């Protein structure tokens, strides 16, 4: 059972990265973007620290990123992680964690199936939508080993490389990291803030249809199934 004692827990670590790490990220997602800051800050994956949770029942639901200053290709920073909320969604619990540094902050929401009904607050729900206008469309065929490539960025969740673990989670084969799909969707883009919701899994080998709007909204789909939706902006000028 998910331990609610993790609420408010604070951890501090020093993260150091190099241009080689940025190149590993770019190779994993097909190109570089400021979304590199997400795996950099939450090294190991957004699911880490969910004490007591059955990890086969954990899904990455949402992610946000705020850049406070341009992220150098190499550097070092103190990162402070805090579990900021545990929301009762009925069928499960939504655990919200933040990672703060001088360069950037990121927030991750993980849905833990079967852990709801404890009487806690439901929490706020961000609304996502796309404009009634034609987007710019591109396509990206993920590789059969795409999840293994992304694993090199530090996200070691077995959901993405262990077939037996994936089957126990209800998937016929390992699925792609949501953050890998996000990185592919945003490759080559420039932004200082983003918010995204992951809506369906991607299987390595799937072809992504990627849509971007000039106002910052973006969306990706596999066939007729939307897999993520989000919005980004640039405040550095």
Kindly indicate the confidence band of residue 237, based on its pLDDT and cuts at 50, 70 and 90. low
Chain segment 155-169, per-residue pLDDT in tens: 999 999 999 999 999
Out of 43, 60, 85, 155, which one is annotated catalytic? 155
Q: Over the chain, what HEC string results?
A: CCCHHHCCCEEEEEEEECHHHHHHHHHHHCCCCHHHHHHHHCCCCCCCCCCCCCHHHEEEEEEEEEECCCCCCCEEEEEEEEEEEEEECCCEEEEEEEEECCCEEEEEEEEEECCCCCCCCCCCCCCCCCCCCCCEEEEEECCCCHHHHHHCCCCCCHHHCCHHHHHHCCCCCCCCCHHHHHHHHHCCCCCCEEEEEECCCCCCCCEEEEEECCCCEEEEEECCEEEEEEEEECCCC
Q: What is the pLDDT of residue 125?
A: 87
Active site residue 20: no
Segment 64-81 mean pLDDT: 96
Active site residue 160: yes
The mean pLDDT of 9-30, rounded to a whole number, is 97
Whole-structure pTM value? 0.97
Closest alpha carbon to 78 in 113, 107, 105: 105
> What pLDDT was estimated at residue 115?
97
Q: Is the pLDDT of residue 122 over 70?
A: yes
**Domain map (residue ranges) of the chain:** 4-233
For residue 124, name the pLDDT band (cuts at 50, 70, 90).
confident
Please tell me which residue in 43, 160, 177, 212 is annotated as part of the active site: 160
CATH 3.30.450.20, domain 4-233, yes or no: no
Query: Which of 40-49, 55-64, 109-118, 177-186 is the least confident region?
Result: 40-49
Query: What pLDDT band is residue 192 in, cutting at 50, 70 and 90?
Result: very high
The rounded mean pLDDT for the chain is 96
């Amino acid at each position: 059972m998910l331990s609610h004692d993790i609420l408010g827990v604070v951890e501090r670590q020093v993260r150091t990265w190099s241009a080689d790490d940025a190149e590993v990220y770019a190779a994993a997602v097909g190109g570089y973007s400021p979304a590199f800051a997400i795996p950099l800050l939450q090294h190991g994956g957004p699911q880490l620290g969910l004490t007591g949770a059955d990890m086969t029942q954990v899904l990455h639901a949402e992610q946000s990123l705020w850049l406070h200053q341009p992220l150098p290709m190499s550097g070092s920073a103190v990162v402070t992680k805090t579990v900021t909320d545990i929301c009762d969604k009925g069928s499960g619990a939504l655990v919200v964690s933040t990672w703060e540094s001088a360069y950037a902050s990121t927030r991750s929401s993980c849905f833990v199936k079967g852990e709801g009904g404890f009487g806690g607050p439901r929490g706020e729900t961000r609304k996502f939508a796309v404009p009634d206008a034609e987007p710019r469309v591109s396509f990206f065929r993920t590789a059969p080993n795409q999840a293994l490539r992304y694993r090199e960025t530090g996200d070691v969740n077995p959901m993405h490389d262990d077939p037996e673990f994936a089957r126990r989670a209800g998937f016929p084969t390992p699925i792609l990291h949501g953050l890998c799909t996000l990185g592919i969707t945003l490759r080559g883009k420039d932004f200082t803030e983003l918010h995204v919701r992951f809506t369906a899994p991607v299987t390595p080998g799937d072809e992504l249809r990627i849509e971007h709007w000039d106002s910052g909204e973006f969306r990706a789909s596999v066939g007729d199934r939307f897999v993520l939706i989000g919005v980004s902006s640039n405040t550095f000028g």
